[in-house]
Amino acid sequence: MELFADQARIGKNPSQPLADRMRPATIDEFVGQDHLLGSGKLLRGMIAAGKLQSLILWGPPGSGKTTLAQILARAAGAACVHFSAVTSGVKDLKKIIQEAEQLRRNGKPTVLFVDEIHHFNKAQQDNFLPHVERGTLTLIGATTENPSFEIISPLLSRCRVLLLKPLLPSEIGALIDRALQDCERGLGNLQLTLTAPARAFLIEQSQGDCRVALNALEAAATLAQAQGQNQIDLPKLQEALQKTPLRYDKAGEEHYNVISAFIKSMRGSDPDAALYWMMRMLEAGEDPLFIARRMVIFAAEDIGNADPQALQIAIAAKDAFHFVGLPEGRIPLAQAVTYLASAPKSNASYKAMLAAGKDVQEYGALAVPLHLRNAPTPLMRNFGYGKDYKYAHDYEEKIVDQQHLPEELRNRRYYTPADSGYEKTLQERLEAWAAKKNSKS
């Protein structure tokens, strides 16, 4: 079986990347994921008890999925087998099962860590089921994709899904400092210093990924050594990361300033400005899907029925980016931004939603009018459910003069289409229907 290599041996091997050398060996060394590892939390309890259940660890790269699997297996006294969904197959699994059964007879459990488990198709995932069910294996799967869509339901029902979050800036900073000070596994013997601007830049650009942070730190340290220096400054980290810093704090004021400028540029029908602010965010390392989500919201809130196609285009851009990724994924985002900024605008649907929501809050759960109620049983029909309901398809032009709101809200009007784009057509249609209803009453 391909067991995880002994942690102490890895840590002393200088040929290993810094991120691997600094991999925590115990729970006390682990940084981040306090919602899972804090006092009284699930994983902390598992580790203390030395008992494991099958898990799916769902989180972004560099959040600690592999390390957690190692620590959990070690705490349970289990053999931990690294099984890659990219390079391993069913034949490898059968061999692992045979050896796991032998270990089980000798009283030693086996943890099967399946990296990138979402790369297995449904038929391949089925192969885990009987062995997890019998307890031959404790499965720990790692994935960056939503398990609801990528993991089969029978396997999900046998595993606990745990969400790992990107590391906080303070946590990334702690790992950087530890790597600089650790003489055995880290860069401590080099006696390097890291300037404050360089440290802040490295934390920001790592985007919560500890592997990115440590690998970039190692590359910058190599540059410093090559230049005969013992200080890592901002230019060296820029060179290591191949990025120039932009003033943009994802959790601070500038983040909100830029996203505000982006949305207001689209609302102001200025495609050039909207493109500029979008690229500012992307170049600064903003999550492109955050931008795409804001575009979807904008399409519904600020364009609405003035151009119903805008929402479809925003969603298509989000899906296209998810499919293509960076850097080419910027192209469909740019297409969508220019379309949204150039589309006719209306917030009539959004205002109608707010008005209807206000009435719900004010009036509470008003009774559904009897004629609109479902009447599947004779008893309900005897109580007047569905009585005198007018089925629109039985009437000319499918128009009926019928009260659809609760009596307390009779004739309330929430949606007033704007005189803009396609919404003007809707306005004329609704006005024509209202005139027909009035003529029949």
For residues 29 and 129, give the distance between their C-alpha atoms in angstroms, rounded to a whole number. 33
Buried b (16+ CB within 10 A) or exposed e, 53-82: ebbbbbbeebbbbbbbbbbbbbbbebbbbb
Tokens of 421: 């784009």
What amino acid is encoded at 342 in this protein? S
Residue 11 CB-density burial (10 A; 0-12 exposed, 13-18 middle, 19+ buried):
middle
Query: What SS3 class is residue 163?
Result: strand
Asked whether residue 251 carries a pLDDT value surpassing 60, the answer given is no
Residue scoring higher pLDDT (161 or 256): 161
Using alpha carbons, select from 431, 397, 399, 400 the residue that is nearest to residue 415: 431
Q: Does the pLDDT at position 3 exceed 50?
A: no
Q: Could you list the beta-strand ranges (E) of 209-274.
A: 231-232
Nearest-angstrom CA–CA distance, 304 and 271? 18
Rg (CA), the chain: 29
Phi, psi of 58, deg, nearest 5 = -110, 120
- Is the distance from CB of 126 to CB of 96 less than 8 angstroms? no
Tally the residues of the chain: 441
* pLDDT for residue 49 is more than 90: no
Using the predicted structure, report yes or no on whether residue 90 has a pLDDT greater than 80: no
Show the tokens assigned to 313.
């285009």
- Which residues are CB-neighbours of 319 under 8 A, at least 6 positions away? none
Q: Which two tokens stand for residue 101?
A: 């059964």
Q: Measured between alpha carbons, how far is 267 from 301 in angstroms, rounded to an integer?
A: 10
Task: Using pLDDT thresholds of 50, 70 and 90, give the confidence band for residue 135.
Answer: confident
The amino acid at residue 170 is S
pLDDT at 243: 61
pLDDT tens digits, one per residue of 307-347 = 999 999 999 999 999 899 888 999 999 999 999 999 999 99
**For residues 167 and 171, what is the distance between their CA atoms, to the nearest angstrom?**
6
Tokens of 200: 């802040």
Kindly report whether the global pTM for this prediction surpasses the value 0.85.
Answer: no
